[in-house]
């Protein structure tokens, strides 16, 4: 169980966050100076240098979004120019990409962050630039929402790149694309000019994720553990009936891949914050709140005291570590890797749920995770290493491991986003949110 420290506050963590952003600047410059767009997107480090790793181009928004976050946190204009120029020049294919479930990752992290900065007055107001960002976000949300499978209960879900039968737990945070597009007044237009609400579609997907991807130790899940998640849920596409859990990046369908758990924690908490601004949704949040609490509780109870998880809570090598829940995670152990990227994502989920609910249990757990993440042995201080946060894992079953001493683009991005979140709280700045 995570060991909390009641004296931890955003102000107390400010020196660590500022140090992280100081190191971050050189990492971003190094990648931009050495990376050629023809190589695809940087995904993980090997020997401290970023490399691509095929599957889909789901990390490019994190690459350019990191530069935008760096500007947001430090005011260093070179990073704004880098993020803005790369977004305009290279991100358009992601806006109309019909083959992935990653629009919230790629497009809200770039076009969305730039629009947010303009709305906050951090960059000059420019009508044509604003319309450019808005149009990209409107289209992205509609394209993502069109990737749709119906469920037998009358709902549905955005299906993963595996096909119409597949619901990924990751996609809960990609709902940001639909939500931003909805907030801008957009809708998905279907056959016969049928207007489909992007908010309703986002809510249907969130409810499907809460119902089928999260376990509660009751009903269907009486045999299982509350708060556990399955990476993938499989459906019969002929009638929309749920069939079984599956896992792509975790150890098994009946263990918990901790990055998938973290996506659920962050996605549900952030969506709940948005829905608090949508009065017509105020009475329908119980299912999402239940999922947010269950997943955050599971993380707190099944993570080492320092808040950094191993890559899967059912990974077989954990048996060789003895009481791994009772002592800080060991990123150099020879049996199972930790996943710092899961911690970077989960921390925001804990903090946002804690702030929204007023429950110290979640808030203090999130602070403890952030404190560990922004310090040794996770913060990369080596100027020759392009990664910011060490000891990240990618796709272990496929052998696409970053692993001990290595970094991932999503882990680095979410550490920066977490740092910016804390910095704004410490400085009484505008609350960090993804919508305008």
Predicted confidence (pLDDT) per residue in 56-86, tens digit: 789 999 999 999 999 999 999 999 999 999 9
What average pLDDT does this structure show over 116-121? 98
Whether residue 400 has pLDDT greater than 90:
no
Q: Confidence band (pLDDT; 50, 70, 90) for 282? A: low
Nearest in space to 390 (alpha carbons), one of 380, 376, 400: 380
Collect all residues with Cβ–Cβ distance below 8 Å to 112 and sequence separation of at least 6: 133, 137, 176, 180, 434
| pLDDT score of 283 more than 70 | no
pLDDT in tens, 211-249: 999 999 999 899 999 999 999 999 999 999 999 999 999
Distance CA 293, CA 278 (A): 21
The pTM for the full model equals 0.97
Percent pLDDT > 90 in the chain is: 94
Return the SS3 of 263.
helix
Q: What is the mean pLDDT of residues 124-136?
A: 98
Tell the residue number behind the tokens 């889909």, with chain if given: 56
The alpha carbon of 23 is separated from its chain's Cα centroid by a whole number of angstroms, namely: 22
Predicted local distance difference test score (pLDDT) of residue 40 = 87
Specify the pLDDT at position 57: 87
- The whole-number pLDDT of residue 279 equals 79
- Higher-pLDDT residue of 412 and 5 is 412
Helix (H) or strand (E) holding 262: helix 258-275
pLDDT in tens, 144-159: 999 999 999 999 999 9
Report the pLDDT value the prediction gives residue 329, as an integer from 0 to 100: 98
Residue showing tokens 């977490």: 418
User: For the residues 100-104, what does the mean pLDDT come to?
Assistant: 96
User: Which residues are 148's β-sheet partners?
Assistant: 158
pLDDT of residue 402: 78
Mean pLDDT of the chain, nearest integer:
96
| 393 backbone dihedrals φ, ψ, rounded to 5° | -125, 140
Reported in sequence order, the residue ranges of 116-159 that DSSP labels E, i.e. its strands, are 148-150, 156-158
Q: Which residues contact 15 (CB under 8 A, 6 or more apart)?
A: none
For the stretch 168-213, pLDDT in tens is: 999 999 999 999 999 999 999 999 999 999 999 999 999 999 999 9
């Amino acid at each position: 169980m995570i060991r909390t420290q009641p004296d931890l506050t955003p102000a107390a963590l400010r020196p660590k966050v500022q140090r992280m952003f100081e190191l971050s600047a050189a990492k971003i410059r190094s990648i931009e100076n050495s990376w050629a767009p023809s190589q695809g997107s940087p995904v993980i480090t090997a020997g401290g240098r970023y490399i691509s790793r095929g599957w889909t181009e789901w990390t490019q928004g994190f690459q350019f979004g990191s530069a935008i976050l760096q500007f947001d946190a430090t005011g260093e204009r070179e990073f704004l120019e880098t993020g803005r120029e790369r977004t305009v020049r290279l991100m358009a294919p992601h806006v109309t990409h019909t083959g992935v479930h990653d629009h919230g990752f790629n497009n809200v992290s770039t076009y969305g962050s730039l629009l947010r900065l303009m709305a906050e007055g951090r960059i000059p107001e420019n009508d044509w630039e604003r319309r450019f960002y808005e149009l990209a976000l409107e289209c992205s949300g509609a394209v993502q929402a069109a990737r749709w499978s119906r469920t037998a209960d009358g709902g549905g879900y955005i299906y993963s790149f595996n096909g119409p039968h597949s619901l990924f737990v990751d996609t809960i945070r990609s709902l940001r694309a639909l939500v931003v597009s909805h907030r801008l007044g957009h809708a998905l237009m279907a056959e016969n000019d049928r207007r489909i609400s992007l908010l309703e579609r986002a809510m249907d997907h969130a409810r499907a994720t809460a119902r089928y991807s999260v376990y509660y130790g009751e009903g269907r899940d009486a045999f299982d553990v509350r708060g556990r998640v399955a990476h993938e849920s499989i459906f019969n596409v002929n009638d929309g009936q749920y069939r079984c859990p599956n896992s792509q990046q975790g150890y098994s369908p009946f263990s918990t891949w901790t990055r998938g758990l973290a996506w659920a924690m962050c996605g549900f908490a952030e969506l709940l914050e948005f829905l608090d601004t949508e009065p017509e949704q105020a009475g329908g949040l119980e299912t999402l709140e239940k999922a947010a609490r269950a997943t955050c509780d599971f993380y707190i109870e099944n993570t080492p005291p320092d808040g950094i998880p191993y890559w899967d809570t059912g990974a077989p090598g954990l048996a060789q570590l003895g009481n791994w829940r009772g002592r800080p995670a060991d990123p150099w152990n020879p049996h199972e890797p930790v996943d710092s990227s899961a911690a970077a994502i989960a921390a925001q989920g804990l903090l946002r749920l804690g702030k929204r609910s007023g429950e110290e249990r979640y808030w203090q757990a999130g602070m403890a995770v952030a404190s560990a993440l922004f310090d040794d042995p996770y913060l990369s201080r080596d100027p020759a290493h392009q990664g910011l946060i060490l000891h990240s894992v990618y796709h272990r079953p496929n052998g696409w491991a970053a692993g001990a001493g290595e970094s991932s683009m999503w882990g680095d991005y979410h550490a920066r986003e977490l740092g910016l979140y804390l910095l704004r709280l410490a400085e009484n700045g505008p609350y960090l949110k993804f919508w305008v």
